[in-house]
Structure 1
Amino acid sequence: MVDLRSDTVTRPGPAMLEAMANAEVGDDVYGEDPAVNALEAEAAALLGHEAAVFTPTGSMANQIALQLLVPPGQELLCDAKAHVVNFEMGAAAALGGISTRTWHVPNGRLDVSLVEPMINLPHPYATTTRAVAVENTHNIGGGTVQPLAELRALRELADAYGLAVHLDGARIWNAHVATGVPLHEYGRLFDTVSVCLSKGLGAPVGSLLVTDAERAARGRVLRKRLGGGMRQVGYLAEAGRFALANNIGRLAEDHARARRLAEALQPYGVCDAAQVETNVVLLRIPEIAKTAAAAAEQGVRISALGPDWGRLLTHLDVDDAGIEHAVKVLTELVRDGRA
């Protein structure tokens, strides 16, 4: 089975499993797990910050960050397709008392000129804006890489208005590999950064909130409150350490395979290869659920996200042979009109 539904479907290989089995562990709630402590220090250094907090999920890392930056009853600005307002079960409002407002942009690409008019300064009759969130790369936008110039402009704008800025960097590794921009250059533009280990990097579970030492300490309290206090979790942290050390550079292979898929499918009008910047290919196919079912019967899984659109994601568990099989199956389906 060639599973292109998401880059979350990967499973640890033998070398990662060996690293996990050999992990030195302790009680992380007490701060005594050596593998977790090492992972947090390594991730913080990569992103140019002081500290990090290991969390079981990216949603938890994001929501801890938002609660650190936005008091209850005040607001976060982000784009309308952002993960934090579409796929985290309303947690900002339900758990943090945070109001959100959104702007609309094609493919999730940041346009700072849209942000400034939305900012509410403290006022007796308005919800005060306290933070802005950006997703890089942008999932539903199609793996969009946010332009560095726009990120710098956003930082300047936020500083001018006294706002905080959060990066949902679940796939920041892909942006780094696609552009060559150092991870610390991205990270230092933000007050808080969430990064994922279980998407493109192939760890079985885990994300990190990266920030300064003071916020990290408060973040640990929020993590415990949200049920994220973990004990001998170093076995999972060691998988994350292996992923950071071995699986970032190879993301370029995923990007090349995504382009191969897009270029094969573009002649049939179901995708735009020019929009593929990383490992995500957006599809536009009427009644795409039927296409997904037909493809699955031939050993290819794709993600149907709406009545007429979906996506393909490449990852380390799909090699060139798998891509060629997917190309054969999907091009036959769209060519024959069975899509």
Structure 2
Amino acid sequence: MWLLPAVIVIVMVLSIGQWAYAEFSFHNQFSYIDETKVMHILGEIKNESDHSMRNVLITISFYDREENLLDEFTRVPALRVINPGESSPFEILFTDQKAVDDVANFTMLATGQTTELKEKQLKIISANSRLDLLGTYYIYAVARNEGQESATNAIMIATLYDKDGRVIAIGNALAEAGPGSSNITAGSRAPFGIPITEKMQTPKTAKYSLVAESDQYGSDMIVLQASGPGLANGNQTQSGCLIATAAFGSDLAPQVQQLRLFRDGIALKTSAGSSFINVFNAWYYSFSPSVSNYERQTPWIQNIVRTLIYPLLGILSISALVYDLFTFGSELGIVAAGITASSLVGLLYFAPLGIA
């Protein structure tokens, strides 16, 4: 395996009706050959010009030790629009398995079109991650649309870095804004569940970045510390909704993510909510691992738990609306949301037992 040097290039950019010059630079590069003999070239491309760029194409030319051209591949970066001074991750694959061992060097260049600046109206409001024991890195995040129009085709891009700051893996996921929809309406929030499955690289993760983008808007990039095997970064030492995950079959199921959205995007943003979650976790994790393990082996229990969780999701949706009414005070909002949730839970789940 060859670790190939960073490349800084000046490229010609096709603008509408004329040719113009712009500058891109490539950073934090990393390369590896996977178990199928495919070479991965990863890194970040930075827009060094004074204009936003769309339709960016990265072309990489691979050479052997005698500087003979082996092949060329073209790929788009992860972001659709790169604003001035900002970067986007990219990954390019060398798929000629017979020639991959002959690769000694490469060159890169990029082309694109000038476009309007993309407004930063998407805000990433919470995120947590964990590396499972099988090597899959899960990232769960929530973004809010602070713009005046719907953010259509909203996507979140995750970039994993090693201890030296090199890009080692990239993942993305569409917003789960509603059944079959990735459009985040104005003023609302949506969860994103991003699994990254490059198991040769994920254990090396030291930090990760997140950035959101839609057809209309972008977001600022945030950088967070990574988690270790079986753990999640953030305030909780255990962050899994174990019983719900066992019921719905995956911790990326929309129902599980809605539970996390209320916890991470609302409750943990306040002192009162964090205190409650800490007490709740001490109780919940005292029994949930054994219950969830039994649940996975018993389909009829899974069906019962799913039936019980669906009304709870509706209650949390109502409680979230109550919380959003208290824009002047999040602590008061979480208390009001908690009273709403506990009242509805008592009415729905426990009142029938009293009547019986």
- The question of a shared fold, defined as TM-score above 0.5 by the shorter chain, is answered with no
More strand by share: 2
> Which structure is richer in relative contact order (CA contacts within 8 A, separation 6 or more)?
1
More helix by share: 1
Q: TM-score, normalised by structure 2?
A: 0.24
Q: TM-score, normalised by structure 1?
A: 0.24
